[in-house]
A and B are shown apart, each in its own frame.
Chain A
């Protein structure tokens, strides 16, 4: 039996702004069922890679395919759920309205109870009808996480998810990532230095100045060494 094709493949993917290289040509493959921690010092290219894979940035060179489709194409957009480091939300929609909107835009098979369940899961049940644009950073991050989960996906890309989250919010999100880890159809790629997540990840990919310097399991101590200059 042939193994399923990888859900995310980067071949020589690079990004430059004029003479500033944000990501040197990168080769990376993520298989379905994998949970990958993406680590690296500030400016190493982690966020750039995630944005390229999500289709938010245009590649300077190389290629990225998501579930067999070029990054940014309609099929790739359907397969990727991207949680940015800075939540981006509408000013005039409540959390519940946000959820219903995003679910509708992705043709998600989810009813109101399902939406409420996700909202409860990220500990926003008591604020479900409030405007997230008026939330604190941590609450907006929780709303952003809920939006990332309300739609179907094959690959979950997460950029620095634990910044601003309180202890219980962080634990809740780690539980969600653990559940995804058991799914053979999903892959999770998280850019973070958080030791709690790095320990749970199947692989740790370390970037240094836009190049892969480590690819495999890593302990938190190794991560500290890898992200130092």
Chain B
């Protein structure tokens, strides 16, 4: 039987073997592949810089605008740090920020090697890479911002780089601390929500200060140097240091779950398989249906409405986390609509995206039919009929969610919508969110096989872009009536009549989507038959007398 050498330096062996694997990996990279990767990175980098330059603009701010930035800027920009820390905490509570190879979890972390030593190298490697990326991105944003703000370009670039690496350090450090201290998921969520709420309260003037305001001061250093801005830099360094010290506390269970799911999620995201990403994300966060439903429905005697009952049973088994997320999304949508009403038009995108995400949860029964087509196809009913019937419960969920949105949007206070407009919006944001999710789920991933293989890359690119943007775009359209109502008020008219055409338009659009759900299979098979017929005619040999 084998025995262990008590004098063996296990950690040194680990380092040597990792070097060996790194050499193996590098030796297998072909220089053409490396060159192509560099080319793609440069190309997308240039595109990103161009887009950012267009967004930031190059018109210098007026003195009045500068005064406003100096007064309100630190509070609002502090939101970057709040979101970064909240994101890090959530990631850490789910085993992040590392996503190790599964074999590394099984063979290295289950060996008697010091776990902190085993994890430190991959953590530092990942942190080094992310820091470099953050510094470059932050530096470029600072460089672009220098066109609009007074101060020298170098100062803005350096500040941008420092701010981005600090935000990264806060997120990464928070994740390490949460992971190493095994912070429960609910604890991470509460801490993140409190931090974001404190930032929002400060930003809208309900609180005199927030923990993340010093980050905002740092970002505006080229305008005015505030020593308070040094605080987040120090906190970021300290929190990363604490996180690294806590590495030995990392849960293997979380690490292994993450190692097996994160890779799949990245691949699914690359392939734009949104449904797969949703399912994997639920697995990663252990979002399991409840064994005991919140309310038990009678199993017998409900045969008349099988799809409605199936959908309701699914909803009644939603875990508390999913319900909480839906409520949070409604609050975000409501607040975003208030922002739109107050004049920040861009928040319409946030409102639409939040309802789109809510819609993805609401269409779960339909999505499961798509996940298991053989079960659906074994039913005597037409697939389109089944899909359509599954929309009933989805619509109910979205209407309930939209009522909550309307309440949040119309509660008296800054940016409150008129009650009648908020009530009218229930129909449009519910149906648009549901419609966008239905298109996303039924559309699935973009398939470039078949007839699309013969189309030019530009057409394929356009199709991919459209298929990606269209479903959330529909959800964003649902919030558009707020803009119409705002425009009506601006020209001295009543808000509700102004919003009404938009709401009616969304109801009609949803009707069209429902019709599409009903006939898409028939249309697709008709088109396919036509293509095949045309193809057969082209290839059939013609005889000498002209007859085929």
Contact = CB atoms under 8 A, between A and B. Distances in A.
B3 interface: yes
Given A18-B319, A90-B103, A92-B24, A105 B111 contact: yes
B253 A56 contact: yes
Contacts of A152: 1-4
Nearest to B104: A90
Contacts of A150: 2
B251 A105 contact: no
Contacts of A93: 21, 24
A154 B325 CA distance: 47
A213 interface: no
Nearest to A75: B112
Contacts of B445: none
A105 B21 contact: no
B286 interface: yes
Contact of B253 (A58, A78, A89, A102): A58
Contacts of B115: 74
B263 to A, nearest CB: 11
A105 B253 CA distance: 20
A101 B14 CA distance: 8
Contact of B251 (A58, A84, A90, A151): A58
Contacts of A58: 251-253
Interface in B101-119: 101-103, 105-108, 110-115
B10 interface: yes
A107 B6 contact: yes
Contact of B106 (A88, A91, A185): A88
B252 A55 contact: yes
Interface residues of A, number: 40
Interface string B282-318: 0000101011100000000000000000000000000
A55 B109 CA distance: 10
A110 B2 contact: yes
A20 interface: yes
B291 A105 contact: no
B291 A107 contact: no
B5 A88 contact: no
A17 B286 contact: yes
Given A19-B292, A82-B110, A147-B107, A106 B4 contact: yes
Interface string A159-170: 000000000000
A18 B290 contact: yes
Contact of A90 (B101, B291, B319): B101
Contact of A107 (B8, B24, B253): B8
B13 interface: yes
A5 B167 CA distance: 52
Contacts of A74: 112, 114-115
Contacts of A126: none
Interface residues of B, number: 39
A84 B114 CA distance: 22
A78 B112 contact: yes
B125 interface: no
B491 interface: no
B17 interface: yes
A229 interface: no
Nearest to B288: A18
A20 B286 CA distance: 11
Given A18-B290, A88-B102, A107 B108 contact: no
A82 B110 CA distance: 9
Given A18-B290, A107-B8, A89 B103 contact: yes
Interface in B2-37: 2-6, 8, 10, 13-14, 16-17, 21, 24-25, 28
A55 B2 contact: no
A214 interface: no
A29 interface: no
B252 A185 contact: no
Interface string A65-104: 0000000101101100010100011111100000001101
Contacts of B107: 88, 90, 101-102, 105, 147
A156 to B, nearest CB: 11
Nearest to B248: A74
Interface string B254-279: 00100000000000000000000000
Interface string B84-110: 000000000000000001110111101
Contacts of A57: 252-253
A17 B114 CA distance: 28
Contacts of B110: 54-56, 77, 82
Contacts of B1: 152, 183, 185-186
A109 B108 CA distance: 18
Interface of B: 1-6, 8, 10, 13-14, 16-17, 21, 24-25, 28, 101-103, 105-108, 110-115, 251-253, 256, 286, 288, 290-292, 319
Given A54-B110, A92-B24, 4 more contacts: A20-B288, A88-B106, A108-B5, A151-B2
Instruction: Report, nearest first, the 5 A-B pairs whose CB atoms are least far apart.
Output: A107-B8, A78-B112, A104-B13, A105-B111, A88-B106
5 contacts: A17-B286, A18-B288, A20-B291, A105-B107, A110-B2
